[in-house]
Amino acid sequence: MLNTWLQQAVWHKLLAAACMCAALIGCKSMSVMNTSQSAPSAEQLLRIPYTSSLDNTQREYLVYLPQGYADNPEKDWPVMLFLHGNGERGDGLSELDFVMAHGPLYEAWIQKQPLPFIIISPQLHMFDLRENGPDYIKNRTLDNLPKRLENGVPERGPMFTRGGPMDGVPQADMSKVDITLPIGWNYVEQDLLGMLAHAHANYRTDASRVYLTGLSYGGFGTWYMASKHPQLFAAIAPVVGWGHPDLMAPIAEHKIPVWQFAAGRDYSVRIQYFYAGLNKLEELGHDNVRFTNHEDMAHDAWRRVYRSKDFYDWLLEHKLVEQAR
């Protein structure tokens, strides 16, 4: 009887030890499995050469491939075409980094926001503004540009001075206002189309989710490109750049979702010029239009817009297949 009891006791101890061993082995396997999971592939910033259709010069533009792009060869990614402002023009070569001063590429590459877009960022030609342009172009230097850091992110730059009080103003008379700005993005329309075509041919893009946005001069360019090629874009977001009423019919016909941004203390692009185009869209029956006026902000309201998660989430809500054609 005693021997039987001893045998049972030994058996139970052996069984317990075996279970503990199995548990430890299981824990070790789980640990190995967890550590073997690799981090997403790093984001990439590419310089793509092209010949400009405007003047046959050799230039480059930037393409940002998002974090995780290299991990899944079956996944297609949304595309964002970004048009910069007047102060970021350049030769498309040694001055190309100016396009990262503001906007989505600044947020994605410099501030390391993991934006889930393939971002195309061209540079508008200088034309004669190197000699005859405003001081903010003449006095700029590459040394003052924000730089991507190996560890962490740089401090964000200061906001523009707010030049005066917030005030409501009546709608401007647009009958004698030109549809486009002088030497603007409309001059390189074919270049922009070529960049989109190159992206679709060479990267895993989702053609139903192509978005167009731009700030200041690029905001005006956004309205122009959307009007001329409304079938291409799932949504547009012009920032501190208004759209002329004469550009609105194709946008309304294709019911492109619009999110327009303005600034109440913007003395470069005045608020009264925004209303006519937006009212024209409403008159044409287009109701998928947002208008956000950052009443407290100066011309650089784009800083707030492009750092906002809501902005990118709104873009991703829209696909071409969801819109009436």
- Tell which residue, 188, 239, 194, has the closest CA to residue 212: 239
Distance from C-alpha of 270 to C-alpha of 153, rounded to nearest angstrom: 33
We report the CATH number of the domain holding residue 295 as 3.40.50.1820
The CA–CA distances, whole Å, from 299 to 15, 136, 148, 308 equal 74, 14, 25, 17
Write out the residue range of the structural domain in which residue 205 sits. 44-322
Strand ordering across the sheet containing 118-121:
44-51, 58-65, 118-121, 77-83, 205-215, 235-239, 258-263, 289-294
CB-based contacts of 187, cutoff 8 Å, min separation 6: 54, 124, 125
In this predicted structure, the answer to whether residue 307 has a pLDDT above a threshold of 60 is: yes
Percent of the chain with pLDDT over 70: 86
- pLDDT given for residue 296 in this prediction: 96
pLDDT grade, residue 53 (50/70/90)?
Answer: very high
Nearest to 98 by CA among 66, 40, 55, 139: 139
Q: What is the pLDDT of residue 165?
A: 63
Residue 159 is predicted with a pLDDT of 83
Assess if residue 281 is contained within a domain: yes
- The per-residue pLDDT for 71 is 96
Angle at alpha carbon of residue 257, lines to 254 and 258, rounded to 5°: 115
pLDDT tens per residue, range 132-177: 999 999 999 999 999 999 999 999 988 888 766 656 778 899 999 9
For helices 189-202 and 217-228, the axis angle rounded to 10 degrees is 70
* Confidence band, pLDDT 50/70/90 cuts, at residue 325: very low
Judge whether 24 lies within some domain.
no
Distance CA 120, CA 64 (A): 7
**Has residue 198 been placed in a domain?**
yes
Residue 131 within any structural domain of the chain: yes
- Does the pLDDT of residue 24 top 50, yes or no? no
Contact call for residues 301 and 262 (beta carbons, < 8 A): yes
Q: Looking at the predicted structure, is the pLDDT value of residue 26 above 80?
A: no
Residue 13 falls within a domain, yes or no? no
| Amino acid letter, residue 96 | L
- Mean of all residue pLDDT scores within the chain: 89
What total of structural domains would you count in the chain?
1
**Closest among 263, 264, 291, 265 to 276, alpha carbons compared:** 291
Please choose, from the candidates 290, 270, 266, 269, the residue with its C-alpha nearest in 3D space to the C-alpha of residue 278.
290
Q: Say if 260 falls within a structural domain.
A: yes
Residue 129 has pLDDT above 60, yes or no: yes
What pLDDT score does 227 carry?
Answer: 99
Per-residue pLDDT averaged across 88-92, rounded? 98
Q: Residue 1 domain-assigned?
A: no
- The average pLDDT across 87-101 equals 98
- Domain membership of residue 14 (yes or no) is no
